[in-house]
Amino acid sequence: MDLVLSDKKTFVTGASSGIGQAIAMKFATEGAEVFILDLNEEGGTKTENAILEAGGSACFHKLDVTNPEQVQDLFSQLGPANILVNNAGISSIGNVENTFPEEMDRIYSVNVKGVYNCLHAAIPGMKENGGGAILNMASIVSKVGISERFAYSMSKGAVFAMTLSVAKDYLDSNIRCNCLCPGRIHTAFVDDYLEKNYLDNRDEMFDKLSKFQPIGRMGKPVEVAALAVFLCSDKASFITASAYDIDGGATLLR
Ligand SMILES: NC(=O)c1ccc[n+]([C@@H]2O[C@H](COP(=O)([O-])OP(=O)(O)OC[C@H]3O[C@@H](n4cnc5c(N)ncnc54)[C@H](O)[C@@H]3O)[C@@H](O)[C@H]2O)c1
């Protein structure tokens, strides 16, 4: 069988839920040895069990990506990765006036510093190993203005910029670094947002959010996972410093 990620040691952050969970599961079906790194133990164990039951290789480790010592210790313990998927992320609603310093710090600590912590800890091992592939989870907001997403846009713009910086600095180390820019993908991320902000008109908002994508619906985590597999596989050997839209046309079909 042609498994495109055979024996690739892969770290996926935020793999206890949503897009990260789908990526962990899809990577395992493609032969990767998957390490599920997340704060959420219950979801992480579920993901691990689902992969093991399907005959794949997976191991959950509790990790807070905001904690540099924890990231460094765990990555040293696990040894060099062939693939790093920086997917853990949190959302934030608001404009610049009603986004306060604590919220900026909260979003920065996970979505920016968390990505930095994992890049900083993973790259030396990848270099020693002769190379690797890194995929960062950016967003449509890295490229287009979306209302009421001030702090979140700041963080995803930084993910895009970190992707280019790493891609450039490690060309000679054979490390490819790309990011994905998803539009709305139907995960707990979206459900929690609707629950918190639109309890009384959830269905109406769900419909509105779906129609934001010209294709007329939200994306599915498995659709993001399929692109992630390709970009992290050797089939994408000529692709680095790219920011892939996966958004049902939302960025370019306004
Ligand atoms: N769902 C969307 O519409 C959408 C669109 C564009 C980009 N994204 C991005 O995709 C990524 C995944 O989103 P999702 O929709 O699957 O969200 P999700 O909430 O379903 O999953 C996020 C995961 O990250 C984990 N996490 C949060 N903080 C963490 C920390 N400090 N350390 C370790 N793990 C942590 C959570 O426990 C959770 O398992 C995020 O970076 C998000 O910004 C999502």
> pLDDT by residue (tens digit) across 100-148?
999 999 999 999 999 999 999 999 999 999 999 999 999 999 999 999 9
Tell me the C-alpha to C-alpha distance, in Å, between residue 46 and each of 57, 58, 141, 185: 14, 11, 30, 21
Ligand 1 atom nearest to 64, measured from its CA? 32
> Which two structure tokens, joined as six digits, stand for 34?
């998957």
Residue owning tokens 């979801």: 43
C-alpha atoms less than 13 angstroms from C-alpha of 45 in its C-beta half-sphere: 2
Query: Is 198 in the active site?
Result: no
Token pair belonging to 8 = 């690739």
CA dihedral angle for residue 198, residue 23, residue 142, residue 62, rounded to 10 degrees = 80
User: What mean pLDDT is predicted for residues 55-84?
Assistant: 98
pLDDT value of residue 152: 98
Q: Which residue is catalytic, options 116, 152, 170, 244?
A: 152
For the segment 62-81, the average pLDDT, to the nearest whole number, is 98
The per-residue pLDDT of the chain, averaged, comes to 97
Cβ contacts of residue 98 below 8 Å, gap of 6+? none
pLDDT value of position 196 = 87
Model confidence pLDDT, tens digit, residues 150-177:
999 999 999 999 999 999 999 999 999 9
pLDDT band at 2 (very low <50, low <70, confident <90, very high): confident
For the cut 90, the answer to whether the pLDDT of residue 211 exceeds it is: yes
Residue 79 to residue 128: CA distance in whole angstroms: 11
pLDDT value of position 254? 78
pLDDT at res. 193: 86
* Mean pLDDT of all residues in 181-192: 93
Nearest to 26, CA basis, from 127, 135, 121, 132: 135
The predicted structure's pLDDT at residue 205: 94
Instruction: Report how far residue 167's alpha carbon sits from residue 155's, in angstroms, rounded to the nearest whole number.
Output: 18
Lining residues, ligand 1, CB within 6 Å? 13-14, 16-20, 38-40, 43, 63-66, 87-90, 110, 114, 137, 139, 182, 184-185, 187-190
Mean per-residue pLDDT for 43-66? 98
Alpha-carbon span 230 to 56, nearest angstrom: 18
Show the domains of the chain with their CATH numbers.
9-183+220-243 (3.40.50.720), 185-218 (no CATH)
- Altogether, the residues listed in the chain come to a count of 254
